[in-house]
Amino acid sequence: NIMKQIIQYQKTGEMKVDELPIPLCREGWVLVKNHFSLISSGTEKTSVETAQASMIGKAKSRPDLVKQVMQNVKKEGFKATYDKVKTRLDSYKELGYSCAGVVIESGVDEFAQGDFVACAGATANHSEYVLVPKNLCAKVPAGVTMEEASFTTLGAIALQGIRQAELKIGESVAVIGLGLLGLITVQLAKISGCNVIGLDVNDANFDIAHKLGCDKCLLSNDESIEIINNYTKGIGTDAVIITAGTKSNEPVELAINYSRKKSKVVIVGAVGMDIPRSPFYEKELDLRISCSYGPGRYDTNYEEFGIDYPVGYVRWTENRNMQSILELMRSNKLDVKKLITHRIKIEDGLKAYDIITGKENEKYLAVIIEYEREEELIKRKIEIKEHNAGIRKSGNNNVGFIGAGNFAQSYLLPPLKEGGANFIGVCTSEPVNAKSVGSKFGFEYCTTDYKEIINNDNIDTIFIATRHDSHGGYVLEALKAGKNIYVEKPLCIDKEELAKISDEVMKKQSDEVMKRGDLMVGFNRRFSKSFKDIQSFFSDSTEPFVINYRVHAGFIPKKHWIQFPNQGANWCYW
């Protein structure tokens, strides 16, 4: 089972429409067959151009990542950090975060097969199939087309900016930046009963801004300051919402001059923020940063685990903002159809990026990626692929991997490759990661279905390097399949799993029972020089020893997945 997806190689910036394995549905998530996805031209243009830049260019555009690299050098040393960065760059990245389609398979009660949904977030990519957590899915109401629904995420971003501005009927609001996000913001501000002034560095979108409700459009320069002062009868704006994307500090400086005393400046776009203190101090301006789609963004408990915020305490979350945008579309109060300038089929998807990066000299606003739709969509049946064709490779070095994150790519796969292992299949939960690891290390195939590794007779040894909570189950199934197993620590996370594994290992070999392979737990210091020296030092002793071995490996952030209770942590941070 494969799908088409737009991906980008991080080292060179090369883009392609490639075939990747379809993700598997899991508890708490929804598998969706995409109908349309929307390119967020500002965000995606920056992402694409950063990947295509030189190493120096990458460093200049992401000083935050450079800082992380330097901190890692202090913690792990130059060589380990260099290898980690090299691994990160030698991989593919998915693009897109706003799409709409039909539910193929559901791991939650809130959605069922056949529901039409709008999707948001890091997994709502330009791909034929997407796997999205429930709090980032919203049902599409009758009367809203799937094309319109693909705008939901961008709409939620604009809506969160409006909510941060706390607009009231009759107020004057300036929207700086009349691109796709700005034009949606203009409509939402008008719906809120405000007088809307649109500003941009050029007048290319002034006509459509007027049609969508903008009361006045101006070039964003020093001359606009006096015009806005006169337009607001000397009062100034009650709020300024910045939706522009630029490294320049000019939008913020203009916002200060447009604003009345004690009003709000809301930053939605990525702009320069070298804020002059004196004018902000004199006007007592309220500067606010709008965080993406709304409350819940970047909170793993909300986005990944589906733990909602009580509506009585957090009225508008990411998901409720998405629902609100869909309702505005249904009631014809928000018009996104006028914003669509290009519809491009997924197989021709690279043309879309030629347009937004300027390689194709075409005016654009909303660029939609369109996917082939089937007459009838039924629940997908997972078919185990046959990889036994041809002559079986000799020896017992035929290896399969379940899980292949940074640790596996840095410390497990390189020595195995150097030692001559035959890499057969690799499975990861994310299709783009499976593709990256498969290509980099020369696996025969990649998949998102672990059963395609365990049930492959051509694989003798399975390495398990997934999150902790899955180790026990994978080990048990691999043991029953007669595989040699190397599982990263821990072997499992509770006594029940340990008992089942112990029973399976201790079963006596007989003609009636399938031969079982060896099981080894990987402790990454087991073969280090320090441990070998300790072993050698005590090798001739006959007396028992009690050894206290203390390791200071640095602080693990509370939001790291290792700290999650379902990963075996004995406390919970939320």
Q: What pLDDT score was predicted for residue 160?
A: 98
* Consecutive H or E run containing 81: helix 78-89
Digit-coded pLDDT (tens) for 235-257? 999 999 999 999 899 999 999 99
- Spatial distance between the Cα atoms of 510 and 497, rounded to a whole number of angstroms: 24
Q: Is 541 exposed, middle or buried (0-12, 13-18, 19+ CB in 10 A)?
A: exposed
Lowest mean pLDDT among 42-51, 231-240, 382-391, 478-487: 382-391
Digit-coded pLDDT (tens) for 488-526? 999 998 899 999 999 888 874 554 455 667 899 988 777
Share of the chain above pLDDT 70, in %: 92
In this structure, the chain runs to a length of: 574
Residue 385 has pLDDT above 50, yes or no: no
Q: How far apart are the first and last CA of the chain?
A: 38
Residue 226 CA: distances (Å) to CA of 97, 112, 223, 258, 286:
39, 55, 6, 9, 22
Mean pLDDT estimate for the chain: 89
Share of the chain above pLDDT 90, in %: 68
* Highest mean pLDDT out of 46-60, 65-79, 221-235: 221-235
Query: Which of 188, 150, 138, 145 is closest to 367 using CA atoms?
Result: 150
Query: Which of 26, 31, 6 is closest to 127 using CA atoms?
Result: 6
**What does pTM read for this prediction?**
0.85
CA atoms within 13 A on the CB side of 339: 29
Residue 396 has pLDDT above 80, yes or no: no
Residue pair 135/306 in contact by the 8 Å Cβ criterion: yes
The percent of the chain in helix, strand and coil, each rounded to the nearest 5, is 35, 20, 40
- Spatial distance between the Cα atoms of 244 and 267, rounded to a whole number of angstroms: 9
More confident residue, 464 or 393: 464
Q: What pLDDT score was predicted for residue 569?
A: 60
Residue 427 has pLDDT above 80, yes or no: yes
Digit-coded pLDDT (tens) for 272-298? 988 888 988 999 999 999 999 999 999
